[in-house]
Amino acid sequence: MAGTGALPQPGSSPAAQSYADDQSAAPSPAEVHVAPSGPPPARARLYRAAMLACGAALFAFLVISIGPATVVASFRLLSWRLVLLIVFPCIVLKSFDALAWGFAFSRKPVPFRSLLASILAGQAVASTTPAGMLGGNAVMAWMLRDRVPLRQSLSSLIIVQTTSTASQGLFLLLGILVARWWFSTSLPLVRVMEWLLFLEAIGVIGFVTLQMRGMMAGGHGLLSRLGFTGSSRSREVARDVDENLSAFYRRQPRRLVLSLTCNFLGWMTRAGETWLILYLLGAEVSVATAVVIEAFATGISFATFFLPTDIGVEEGGAVATFLALGMPAATGLSFSLVRRVRELAWTAVGLLLLAGKRRFSRVVAQAPEA
């Protein structure tokens, strides 16, 4: 976060100067892709390459075992309806994501279009670069740098990540309750999900507790003791973020609940998308089954969050879930591949938005020189 800063202008207020400092400290997309050379990055690249190879091997095994012809037949059955699945209801899901993030800001509201564009760009970077979610969050903050100070963006991203994980836990709880009522209570997968829900609840409670106790300043102090020195501005930003987090949780319960609700509605939208995909694939299932499938997918996602890529993992999890629920493995693989195609399409949109933002930023930067 440390940067060169901006010189105070005559008559400027401390708040204005703080905003200027934040903009100079905001990371650019180019910085997201560049990492210092040395052994740690090399090990990280090796680890990512190994996980990618394992995921690709699992993906290939599933396709070969189930049969490529079966998968091709599923896409032929969808035909032009695949375009429909790419656009809808995913646009509703992205809208709920943007609303949830908007409610995580405690001050001046951010335009919905700016939030949506930032989310699409950030998710694209997170899914296509080694920087992962950290790089995606950096891009999201950078995309809003002309509207919101970096400190507020960082605070809001931590808050919306918290409400997203909490809503994910609530949705998993709903899926477990529906599975116990709709299917056999002795289903082994249900027991696994119950343990994952327990771990997720502990994680959310611990994360909120850390935020209330000064997570950012404490982390900065720990890094300093380990020899990673930072500037005075980075310490100030850490303290400001901690204050923003504490103030939001104590004084903005309504916005916190609204962010949580929008994230939960996003998970419900994904369940609706699951039902629609399966319906168009000719596998008509109940809404309850669609909720269970999507809820268990979130549990698998939580259990594998440490993996740098979900290639093969998402497909394998879908096949395992479908088999546990008594459905064909081919349907599970076809379902996950439709999701994969939809993800690739929206990733392309996000990268185009990021490229357009960078081009616009260069034009603005060069304007005074013209």
Which residue has tokens 């708040």? 15
**Token representation of residue 332:** 């599970």
Residues composing the chain: 370
On the question of pLDDT at 359 being above 70, the answer is no
Confidence bin at 45 (pLDDT 50/70/90): confident
In whole angstroms, give the CA distance from residue 297 to residue 18.
42
In sequence order, what are the residues at sequence separation of 6 or more whose Cβ sits closer than 8 angstroms to the Cβ of residue 252? 106
**Token representation of residue 91:** 């646009």
Residue 338 C-alpha from the chain's centroid: 19
**SS3 labels along 25-43:** HCCCHHHHHCCCCCHHHHH
- State the virtual CA torsion across 339, 162, 214, 2 in degrees, nearest 10: 30
One-letter amino acid for residue 273 of the chain: E
In sequence order, what are the residues at sequence separation of 6 or more whose Cβ sits closer than 8 angstroms to the Cβ of residue 243? none
262-294 burial, b if ≥16 CB within 10 A, otherwise e?
Answer: bbbbbbbbbbbbbbbbbebbebebeebbbbbbb
In whole angstroms, give the CA distance from residue 251 to residue 10.
34
Supply the pTM of this predicted model. 0.80
Confidence bin at 303 (pLDDT 50/70/90): confident
CB atoms within 10 A of CB 300: 21
Task: Give residue-wise pLDDT tens across range 112-165.
Answer: 999 999 999 999 998 887 777 888 888 998 888 888 888 888 889 999 999 999
